[in-house]
Structure 1
Amino acid sequence: MVGHHPDKLAAVADDLQARGAGRVETFSLDLTEIDRDQELLAKATEALGRLDAALIA
């Protein structure tokens, strides 16, 4: 998951794990900083391996 507030990301990650999610990765990023998109993809690939798709909501 990607979001602006690390504390909110951690809370949602904890909730997902409590509900049975086997793995939750988080990355804090202000999405208005569009020049950091490659950093985000690199971190996701590092954490998860190959990416088949990304959902942006």
Structure 2
Amino acid sequence: MTFTQSAKAVPTNLSKTMVYMPDELKEALVKWAKRENRSLSNLIVTLLQESVKNAKSKDN
């Protein structure tokens, strides 16, 4: 079991990945996440899951 780096340690079985992105993109994603009352991580995972699902459906 690993712990995320945050104000509170939260146990997780999820993989940790570092991503480099332009500051403008991060700022836009942070604002989006705040509007939806989500963490930045949760928003990014959701967007990636949707993209993978769409890519898989195009493969069929």
The two structures have a TM-score, normalised by structure 1, of 0.35
Pick 1 or 2: higher relative contact order, CA cutoff 8 A, min separation 6. 1
Larger CA Rg, structure 1 vs 2? 2
